[in-house]
Amino acid sequence: MPKISAKGSAMPQSPIRKLVPFAQSAKNRGVHVLHLNIGQPDIKTPDSAINAIKNLNLDTLAYSRTEGSDEHRSKVAAYYNSFDANVTKDDLIITTGGSEALSFVMASLLDAEDEIIIPEPFYANYNGFAAANNLIVKSVTASIDNNFALPNREAFESQISRRTKAILICNPSNPTGYVYTLEELEFLADLCKKHDLFLIVDEVYREFVYGENQFYSALLLKGMQEHVVVVDSVSKRYSMCGARIGYVVTKNKEVRSCIMKFAQARLSPPTLAQIASEAALETPPSYLKEVNTEYNKRRLVLKEGLSAIDGVRVSDPQGAFYLIAELPVSDAEHFSQWLLEHFEFEGETVMLAPAAGFYATKGQGVNQVRIAYVLEIESLKRAIRLLEIALTTYKKTYA
């Protein structure tokens, strides 16, 4: 029998989606599943985006340009320049979601067996993109003890070798909600200049920062124009996950030229989704302000509710819409599967994302879960109550 590739065999399963069959079985039994496992916002997509599709008058749905239309890229550039990023449309390439953007960036910057340093825990699909490109992930481990702040210089320096080509961060962080300080970004910039590395920054959640915390874009780092590559997306900002429109932004012409070759091979980003995404950029600032306020309310409810459960420890998310919770169990994946297979209360259960899959280091995060606060507050309160009851039941069974 023919065998699949070693690369295919090494491709990791998504910890966000691997338990989906168990969730579906629970639903088939009539159990209502509260989804805290995936970052699918329940926020309404802006009317401007929906109406752009509804009111479309086209005879032919044609290819778009490989890099995206001039009009779309010009509007995206104007968005970045609203916070002084000094970007032109020529610094941008439109991609089929942030996922394609990340995959193109990795393929363009690193060769097979090259190394990329990523603070863990990190967005689980970074592992998948690295595996697909035969790259080696070298991790530096952040800790819940200091709210997943950036590890120190020694941790980074210990992982740098002659094969190291890039550092990748997500700011604000998926899965921790941590927002990197200007000092931390400048430290990374200094490290990249010293060792001649690229700094790849996933800024998909830049609009979601809470309290006194402040977001700093890597595009504003001085002396880093040739080093910085920013990945972005409309998915979370405008609650348009299904549009699959993302961006690569960089001043490095050689990098853009290389990414364009990969982009040409897939022909073009989706035309319909570009029309909707371009229209979304006309959404008034009040939309994002209201969304930010809503997520902040959910954040506080979730953090307070989980902290009140005996044995549960939570991070303090400063941005995005996720947090990491440490549970009083030895195996969070077993617990998460048990929730779907064997637990229900008043016809409901909860779906979580086991956090071990957000680490590259084996043994890390085994008693942690990532929780997305993308449900309205009353559903979050029910989910917290369900988790409290479930943990008590689970500990009695698996003490």
Q: Model confidence over 88-115: pLDDT tens digits?
A: 999 999 999 999 999 999 999 999 999 9
> Using CB atoms within 10 A of its CB, is residue 249 exposed (0-12), middle (13-18) or buried (19+)?
buried
pLDDT confidence of residue 11: 84
Q: What is the topology classification, in CATH, of domain 6-44+286-397?
A: Aspartate Aminotransferase, domain 1 (3.90.1150)
Residue 215, pLDDT > 90, answer yes
Contact 75, 52 (CB under 8 A): no
Residue 249 has φ and ψ, to the nearest 5°, of: -125, 120
Q: Residue 22 CA to chain centroid, in angstroms? A: 23
Instruction: Please report, for residues 85, 208, 290, 293, the alpha-carbon distance to residue 287 in angstroms, rounded to integers and kept in the order given.
Output: 22, 12, 5, 10
pLDDT confidence of residue 17: 79
CATH class of 47-280: alpha beta
Range list for CATH 3.40.640.10 in the chain:
47-280
Contact 131, 10 (CB under 8 A): yes
pLDDT confidence of residue 7: 83
Confidence of residue 3 (pLDDT cuts 50, 70, 90): confident
Q: Which residue has the tokens 């086209």?
A: 58
**The amino acid at 204:** V
Please write the tens of the pLDDT for every residue from 137-185.
Answer: 999 999 999 999 999 999 999 999 999 999 999 999 999 999 999 999 9
What gap in Å lies between CA 302 and CA 76, rounded to an integer? 33
What gap in Å lies between CA 196 and CA 161, rounded to an integer? 12
